[in-house]
Amino acid sequence: MSATTLPMEHTSTLPQELIDYIVDHASDDKETQKRLSLVNHSWSHQTRRNLFQTVSFELGGQSCARLNEVLQANPSLYQHIQTVRIGHDYRNNLGSPSILGVIDPKKLVDVLHISLCGTRSELDWGDLPPNLRSALYDLLAKPDLITLALTNIWDIDVSKFIGQSRCLKKLVLHDVWQTFSPNPSTLSGRPPAARVADEEQCSLRSLSVRDCGDALECLCAATKVPQPVVLKVYALHYDNKMDMALKSLSGNVETYEINCARFTTHSFQTGILDLTRLPKLKNFKISLDADQLTRPSGTIPSELLQQLDRLRGTNCLEGIDLQLNFPCGSSWSLVFFPLMRDCKRHGVSTWKDLDNILSDNDAFPKLKRLKIVLRFEFPAAPSPQMWNDSVRLFKVDTMPKLNDRSMVEVVRVDFRY
């Protein structure tokens, strides 16, 4: 018999410790939490905490208005909110009073994780009413934030909050365009924002960036320059400004991930592939569109091979993940064999060269694996036997040296929306 079907006299006599255990056991199931909250007050107290730990809404949307009604009727719910996910749709009214009822920095005292995303359209900071803009700045500047993710935001002054959290472990800056000078001392006469003191240890562990050069400069302008352990970078819109900023942030990186998918130009900022400036690098991951392996030398494959070759004897590499993304509807059998057997186009023999470079044990003494991930969208999946035979043939014929040391792994990911 489930807790929601127990007679009232039985549920009211259960020890609170047992009630809390039952509720927490299903903490990830919102529908179950909602049903349990209807049993009685003893059950609703704990379910409220779980149900309101994470709130998601669009600025000025119906979800925002409904959440505001609930919070105003039950102000004690503010204290349970730890994660705030804010979206933006240009069709919503940014002047709606419900927004300020939800985004109240003085009431959201326990918020640890914030994401602000222009979901259906970019969020132009200049279009926000002044009081909403001020409230959001105060929220983003909370000193105890652990996670901060900003996506698709235009004309924002990140110097007002970047570098202020003593506890920030994860920062995401995707398509964030800075409005003022990145130098805090020149922001229209305004005093520089408070920074993490020199003697304080900077806690940032994970940094993910795309098209945010000025925002990165603001991050580097913090008194204590962060040294993330995990760094993810997108090749799209990667420029000299981002490259210069990331040089000062790379000294402690152990996991470096590059996403080159949908990168169509024939030239790009090669600094993104400079692995020599990552002296502690252990895990390297790169995601490519499959056809990028067949483009003329001088683009991603040949540059990648050159950079790996430069690491000989001076690296801590333990693992390399290479993901190839195939177009929607690709037949795996038509693309697998010509691509994976030995992709030799324009003088570039990608797999053979990779096998020769990485199999040198003196050059890469700590390397344990090369994982090749083939990602298909809406594929017609092969039979397990056909797939296994194809992978075995690729390993033996194309990458024999790494295969002899059992270092090559090939996996297929079938992606469906």
Inside any domain, residue 327: yes
Inside any domain, residue 122: no
Q: What is the pLDDT along the chain (417 residues), one digit of tens a residue?
A: 344 444 544 445 656 665 555 555 555 655 554 554 545 455 555 656 667 888 999 999 999 999 999 899 889 889 989 999 999 887 788 889 999 999 999 999 999 999 999 876 789 998 899 999 999 999 999 999 999 999 999 999 998 898 788 899 999 999 999 986 544 443 333 334 444 444 455 689 999 999 999 999 888 887 577 889 999 999 988 999 999 999 999 999 999 999 987 765 555 677 899 999 999 999 999 998 877 776 654 456 788 889 999 998 889 999 999 998 887 766 666 666 666 654 555 444 778 889 999 999 999 999 999 999 988 876 667 788 888 888 898 898 888 999 999 999 999 887 765
Q: How many whole angstroms separate alpha carbon 369 and alpha carbon 410? A: 11
Inside any domain, residue 135: no
Q: How many whole angstroms separate alpha carbon 235 and alpha carbon 1? A: 55
Inside any domain, residue 112: no
Proportion of the chain in helix, strand, coil states, percent, rounded to 5:
40, 20, 40
Which of 13, 36, 51 terminates a domain? The answer is 51
The pTM (predicted TM-score) of the whole model is: 0.83
Inside any domain, residue 194: no
Number of domains in the chain: 2
Look at strands 113-117 and 408-415 and give their pairing. unpaired
Which of 15, 35, 51 terminates a domain? The answer is 51
For residue 396, give Cα distances in angstroms to 163, 338, 356, 406: 50, 15, 14, 11
First vs last Cα of the chain: how many Å apart? Answer: 37
Inside any domain, residue 407: yes
State which residues form the domain around 408. 260-417
Inside any domain, residue 101: no
In 3D, which of 284, 212, 198 has the Cα closest to residue 244? Answer: 212
For residue 43, give Cα distances in angstroms to 49, 53, 55, 115, 297: 11, 16, 20, 30, 64
Inside any domain, residue 30: yes
Which of 11, 33, 51 terminates a domain? The answer is 51
